[in-house]
Amino acid sequence: MKQLLTFAKGGVHPPEFKAQTAGLAIEIMPVPKELELILGQHIGAPCVPTVCKRDEITEGRMIGEVTKGLGVPLHSPVTGKIKNIGTSTHPMRMSVPSITIAVDRDATAPQYTKQDWQDEDAETLLKRVHAAGVVGVGGAGFPTHVKLNPPSSSPVDTLLLNGAECEPYITADHRQMLENPNDIVEGAKVILKILGISKCYIGIESNKPDAIEVMTKAIQDGADTDYSIEVQPLQVKYPQGSEKQLIEAITGRKVPAMALPSSVGVVVQNVATAKAVYDGVVYAKPLYEKVVTVSGKGIKRPANLLVKVGTKIGDIVDFLGGLQPGLSKVIMGGPMMGFAISSLDIPITKTTSALLFLAEDEVDTTPHSQCIHCGWCLDACPMGLEPKEIGIYVEANKAEETEPFGVFDCFECGSCAYVCPAKRPLVQFIRMAKMKAKRPQ
């Protein structure tokens, strides 16, 4: 095996807790009676509905588009009828505009046929990515067509596909790599063609040897002299899958503070986003389904589920047999970067990777105390920031003075809070500081 690479500074080794779902094949969840689609599924402007109440719609039809600003269209995941255009509870506990669809469960799913893409130019392929509503499904939902069109002042020479999946519990990308390796590799080729480059590395942590083997074979099977794609095994270290850490690990390049990966010639996409690009470009199938890991001791039956975007968490819980006694906390996303939710009446979005139902013994409820100046958070921070100072300033009502400690370079990985012996809620302090401090120009 090749040498295992990683980033130099900081990082932590939380218990993996992946065994519950790593061996479970992706299961297709039956469509519930109703879906609720939030109109702001991506970073940028939310969609404006292109349908009206009581409209009959078919699976794959556009139901929302962005009329100005950054964004992608939204498509119906089902055939059915528009029941309501109103508001829903957003995963971040806000009320947001949404479309509710009453599902026609007897409708036949559309057949998408394979289209030629090799002879199309980059502009046409980019338009197909946009038309399919593809966003970065492993992260914050940045529109993929924008990321694949970096400024000409930043020439790109390398594509990195992120298959690290370093967050504990989550195995959705792992399963995608095992079950759809050829699609991911072809998606990578589409992206390379759009970027006009040939070099791609697929970074996978060494705790997924089966994925390393399967992806390597898929690359060999689809060998193409126009493209140079290779798997790069990575050390198991959190947050290996964050953009800047992945770039440093694989290319040795360091993205400057506040800069984008393209500033060092790199574009990073998640492996699941490459699959969505494949579906969107090669089959003209819009992004309206999502593989979600459902795990934790608090759910009756853990699973990796393919669900329609807009499926309510409550419907997923019912499908998996309900909750276990002793449930303590529900998290949307991973335990390091996800957020706790207080209702199951929340829909899955294009960026939901996991739902964790954690029992009492999986949650640390120790109250936090004063900083003891041990410096562990400084050692753990992969960005070389000073989270302890940010926390102390926030508690002293001086959040607006935290910019010098690097608050805007923090990507909220949670490594600092994970190691803190005083259990200080450092990420919450940092989020508060970001709201009050002045961003450097």
Interface residues with ligand SF4 (CB under 6 A) are 371-377, 380-381, 383, 385, 387-388, 391, 410-416, 419-422, 424, 426-427, 430
Closest CA to 62 of 82, 33, 42, 44: 82
Strands laid side by side in the 62-65 sheet = 48-49, 62-65, 74-75
Please state the closest distance from residue 240 (CB atom) to ligand SF4, in A: 13
Q: Say which amino acid occupies 174.
A: H
Please state the closest distance from residue 232 (CB atom) to ligand SF4, in A: 23
| Adjacent-strand bridge partners of 98 | 38, 86
| Adjacent-strand bridge partners of 48 | 65
Neighbours of 151 (CB within 10 A): 10
Neighbours of 69 (CB within 10 A): 8
Please state the closest distance from residue 239 (CB atom) to ligand SF4, in A: 7
Whose Cβ is closer to ligand SF4: residue 60's or residue 241's? 241
Whose Cβ is closer to ligand SF4: residue 212's or residue 385's? 385
Please state the closest distance from residue 401 (CB atom) to ligand SF4, in A: 16
- What is 118-148 written as a DSSP string? TTS-HHHHHHHHHHTT-B-TTTT--BHHHHT
Whose Cβ is closer to ligand SF4: residue 18's or residue 424's? 424
Q: Say which amino acid occupies 297.
A: K
**Residue 69 — left, alpha, or beta (φ > 0 → left; ψ -120 to 50 → alpha)?**
left
Please state the closest distance from residue 104 (CB atom) to ligand SF4, in A: 45
Whose Cβ is closer to ligand SF4: residue 320's or residue 427's? 427
Interhelix angle 122-131/181-195, nearest 10 degrees = 130
Whose Cβ is closer to ligand SF4: residue 225's or residue 397's? 397
Angstrom distance (rounded) from CA 128 to CA 118: 13
Residue showing tokens 């924008």: 146
Pairing of strands 95-103, 80-89: antiparallel
Q: Say which amino acid occupies 119.
A: D
Please state the closest distance from residue 138 (CB atom) to ligand SF4, in A: 17
Whose Cβ is closer to ligand SF4: residue 147's or residue 388's? 388
Whose Cβ is closer to ligand SF4: residue 319's or residue 418's? 418
Whose Cβ is closer to ligand SF4: residue 223's or residue 257's? 257
Sort 305 into a burial class: Cβ within 10 Å, 0-12 / 13-18 / 19+: buried
Please state the closest distance from residue 408 (CB atom) to ligand SF4, in A: 10
Please state the closest distance from residue 64 (CB atom) to ligand SF4, in A: 33
